[in-house]
Structure 1
Amino acid sequence: MEIKLGTIVARKSYKCDILFRVVEIKKGKNGNLTAILSGQEMRLMADAPYEDLVVVDKQEINSRAKIEHEKLEQSLFLLKQDHQLSREKQEYYSSSAYSFPDELFHIPGRVLHIDGDSLYLQKCLALYDKIGVPVYGVYCKEDEMPERVMDLLEKYRPDILVITGHDAYSKHKGKISDINAYRHSKHFVKTVRNARRKVPNLDQLVIFAGACQSHFESLIRAGANFASSPSRVNIHALDPVYIVAKISFTPFVESINVWEVLRNTLSREKGLGGIETRGVLRSGMPFKQHDES
């Protein structure tokens, strides 16, 4: 089968471990073709010789999609369970354990999600909507994020900022400690720094930054509350949403236990990490439901 833009492929040299879609095909000076690949489920960009690629049939794609869906549903179930327990706890303390005739209302944290992949962004926005997190989504190339982030913060004034897209570490470009050996880590770091110039307080603006194999330590030093990837592994495309949802639905009077956030993600502590951070949910009373009739 011919390999063209949009074809779902795997790499024979990596035992077809990850599915990719072909986003670009380049022809070298020697006439050999190289494909630029974007992970189907992982936030990973890669390149591979044309002859190393194998087209994945629909049955295999559907089989892997089913497994991914089951993993996502399990994470979503745990997230909703955590949210319900947190909400009940907040209502108990807000009412001082007394019974009131009026219910509380809740204002979850607003999210600005800046993503370097438009398809991943749409997947994330659909999940935010399913969970009930208020979000503004902006597609932006990774190398343009540092210049745009301050204006976007001024426009949307979020409680939580997500800076993500694609990344990858290349051994031939330098040591694992060298940020220049990463595809987009330096752009994510600059974006975080610019965001912190706008909002320095770590609890006033909570930041998640990074993608697959990103330079975790630099992102945290730059001012991110949560980032990827401590062990330089691939992270799932939707992992930022689970972290953000936990932050959005945690009351601002509570600190978030980092492990409690990571345990519901698909990448867990090898792919994600962070620092102790306050939640951003606010509750109030009374909740009045007006009769539209």
Structure 2
Amino acid sequence: MTVKTGDIVGRLSYKCDLLFRVLTISNDVVTLVGEEMRLLADAPMDDLKVMTLKEREEDKNKVKEQEEASYRLFRQDAKLMKRRQDYQTHAGYEETSHFFELRGRVLHLDGDANYLNRCTDIYNKLGVPVYGVHLAEKEMPSQLASLLKMVQPDILVVTGHDAYSKAKGNRNDLKAYRHTKYFAECVRIARNHTKDLDRLLIFAGACQSHFETLIRAGANFASSPDRVNIHALDPVYIASKLSRTSFSDTVNLWDIIRNTITGQKGLGGIETKGSMRLGLPYKEEYEDEIDPS
């Protein structure tokens, strides 16, 4: 079967362990983007197999189970946070007051339009305010300053696709990574805009990104400590946790990583406070504008 742009394929040399979308074809070299993982790869045409609808559905169901498990963990965690907030805010008062939540606003830059749409759906499902922008990774640094000024986010997510190639250098050589340098430049621009690590919370990186460079540049959270692939939705769960955690609380690092699909081999970070603030009084007519606690 002839491989064409947009096909869903697997790599025979990797036993079709991951599914990819065909991005471009040049001579017999095919550029691929992960269907579920934020990975960019090249492969020869004869190494690719076009996946059948049945094979794609089987893989989709397996991934869906992982996504649902991560979503359940997040919802359970959110309920526990709300109970604790209710206890702390109501303690010592005879009357029970109704508080509203001002959750941290996310600016999400994504190198993949399909992933951006999926991420935006999850943000909305979790009640997290988001402004999403699709940009090629190389274009992100030139556009970021104006976007920060316009959106004034509490949380910045800079992600897309990345990959590490042994053929281009060792693990500490940034030239061996497709897009880490662009993500790192974005982090430096953002830190020049807001230096306080607890006033602008940053997640940066994609599959196999150089974690240490992104953290040193000023990211609060990044990928990928073990240079493994990360799931398309992992940045969403980290940003959402930060958005829904009180500015007076430090996020538990283990709690925030365990809610992701990939876990600590692919994601890590530093001690960081949340960005949500409670307010009074809550009025029902404000329901469309603010989220009640």
TM-score greater than 0.5 by the shorter chain: yes
Structure 1 residue 185 displacement after superposition = 0.3
- Alignment of 1:150 onto 2:150: no
Q: How does 1:163-242 map to 2 (within 5 A)?
A: 163-242=158-237
Residue 76 (structure 1) aligns with: 71
Question: Residue 124 of structure 1 aligns with which residue?
Answer: 119
User: Shift of residue 99 of structure 1?
Assistant: 4.3
Q: Supply the distance in 1 between the matched residues of 2:177 and 2:19 (Cα, whole angstroms).
A: 21
In 1, the alpha carbon distance for the partners of 2:261 and 2:286 equals 43
In structure 2, the residue corresponding to 1:218 is in which secondary structure? helix
Give the CA deviation at 1:252: 0.8
Matched, 1:10 2:15: no
Q: How does 1:30-49 map to 2 (within 5 A)?
A: 33-49=28-44
Comparing 205-214 and 127-136, the one that deviates more: 127-136
CA deviations on 1:80-134 (whole Å, 9 max, x unpaired) are 1111111121122122343424311111110000001111101100111111110
Aligned to 1:273: 268
Partner of 1:134: 129
Equivalent pair of 1:146/1:194 in contact (CA under 8 Å): yes
Q: Figure out how many residues of one structure are paired with residues of the other and give that number.
A: 287
Check the 8 A contact 2:245/2:275 in 1, yes or no.
yes
Question: TM-score, normalized by length of structure 1?
Answer: 0.96
Amino acid at match of 1:16: C
Q: Which residue of 2 aligns with 1:252?
A: 247
In 2, are the aligned partners of 1:212 and 1:233 still within 8 Å (CA)?
yes
Contact 2:90 2:97 in 1 (8 A): no
* Amino acid paired to 1:26: S
Counterpart Cα distance in 2 of 1:99 and 1:69: 45
1:175–1:88 Cα change, 3 Å: same
Q: Secondary structure at the match of 1:75?
A: helix
The 1:290–1:210 alpha-carbon spacing in structure 2 relative to 1, beyond 3 Å, is closer
Gap change, CA 1:14 and 1:183, over 3 Å in 2: same
The Cα shift of 1:278 comes to: 0.2
What is the TM-score with the length of structure 2 in the denominator?
0.96
Seq. identity, %: 54
Cα distance change, pair 130–291 in 1 and its aligned pair in 2 (3 A): closer
5+ unaligned residues in a row in structure 1: which ranges?
28-32
Following the alignment from structure 1 to structure 2, what is the Cα–Cα distance between the partners of residues 189 and 280? 23
Partner of 2:26: 26
Structure 2 residues without counterparts, runs of 5 or longer = 288-293
Q: Are the counterparts in 1 of residues 107 and 151 from structure 2 also a CA contact under 8 Å?
A: yes
Partner-residue secondary structure (3-state), 2:99: strand
Letter in 2 for 1:128: Y
2:107–2:156 contact (8 Å) kept in structure 1: yes
Alignment match, 1:286: 281
* In structure 2, C-alpha distance between the alignment counterparts of 1:5 and 1:97, rounded to whole Å: 63
- Cα contact 1:102–1:288 (8 A) shared by 2: no
